[in-house]
Copies of this chain bind each other. A is one copy, B any other.
Amino acid sequence: MHRYKILIADDHAMVRDGVKNLVRQSKEYVVIGEASNGRQAIEQFETLAPDLLILDISMPELNGMEVAREVLNKNPLANIIILSMYDDEEYVSRCLEIGVKGYVVKNESGSELEYAIRSVLQGKNYFSRQAQDVIFKKYSHAVTKKKQREELIRLTPREVEIIRLIAEGLTSQQMADKLFISPRTVETHRANLMKKVGVKNAIELVKKVQQLELI
């Protein structure tokens, strides 16, 4: 019978034992190795070729994220779950960027990790609720900020139309042809827009608008 091979890296034996116990409950998984620092984790990953690597985020030598980055550099398809004490936004974002498949905050229940393991081995991502929360907050902050700024700078419908075309890279002449107005009118709108937004050329204008529009 095939069992998924799991490698655990954490500098606290107690945590490793906890994970081992959890994993042992299911016949589908087997822990084939342990590491207590980042350097070891990388070495063992290469010799043991596990199906899943569970990494504590804080370890001596190399921390979990650094290990993840190195492992994923050589093996982009590696399955990695990060265990962390913190649901720090910076950590979560960076883990996402690095490409780890799971992020579990330690104070969640054990079943959280269990579920994460199952999901990741099925090819899905699993970021625990708290980890998602931080991204969610980031996102909703962005959305509300967007609204606030939209209210600060009020553009007329025509101006919105114009600025979209500017952002698409059209010249005044092209916009004029498209809107059946004089290129001079387009330039007036452009000038008004720049004045409203408080910038001094079209480049900054587009940049500003891009920022307000969605980011």
How many chain copies does the complex carry? Answer: 2
Q: Collect the chain B residues with CB atoms within 8 Å of residue A90's CB.
A: none
| CB-based nearest B residue for A94 | B143
Assess the B210–A207 pair: CB atoms within 8 A: yes
Q: Collect the chain B residues with CB atoms within 8 Å of residue A96's CB.
A: 139-140, 143
Q: How far is the CA of A129 from the CA of B136 in the complex (A)?
A: 11
Give A27 Cβ to nearest chain B Cβ, in Å: 28
Annotate A198-215 by CB proximity to B: 1 below 8 A, 0 otherwise: 011111101100110011
Q: Given contacts A144-B99, A215-B215, are A169 and B132 in contact (CB under 8 A)?
A: no
Q: How far is the CA of A168 from the CA of B206 in the complex (A)?
A: 11
Give A77 Cβ to nearest chain B Cβ, in Å: 13
Q: Given contacts A127-B136, A136-B127, A215-B214, are A200 and B169 in contact (CB under 8 A)?
A: yes
Give the one of A129, A167, A169, A211 with max B CB within 10 A. Answer: A169
Q: Collect the chain B residues with CB atoms within 8 Å of residue A199's CB.
A: 169
> What would be 8 A-B contacts, judged by CB atoms less than 8 Å apart?
A93-B143, A96-B139, A97-B146, A129-B132, A166-B203, A168-B204, A203-B203, A215-B215
The 3 closest A-B pairs by CB, nearest first: A169-B204, A210-B210, A132-B132
